[in-house]
Amino acid sequence: MTNQAHTPGPWRVEPLQWDHGASIAIVANGQIVATISPENEDEEPDAQTAKRGPQDEANACLIAAAPALFNAASLVIDRWSRGDLAEAVRMLDVAVAQAKGDNT
Total domains, the chain: 2
Is there a domain that residue 12 lies in?
A: yes
Q: Are residues 47 and 71 in the same domain?
A: no
d(CA 79, CA 18) in angstroms, rounded, equals 43
Report pLDDT digits (tens) over 63-104: 999 999 999 998 888 888 888 888 888 888 888 998 888 865
Q: Are residues 40 and 11 in the same domain?
A: yes
Structural domain boundaries, residue 9: 1-51
> What is the model's pTM?
0.82
Is there a domain that residue 76 lies in?
A: yes
Q: Are residues 47 and 89 in the same domain?
A: no
d(CA 25, CA 4) in angstroms, rounded, equals 22
Is there a domain that residue 57 lies in?
A: no
Q: Are residues 103 and 72 in the same domain?
A: yes
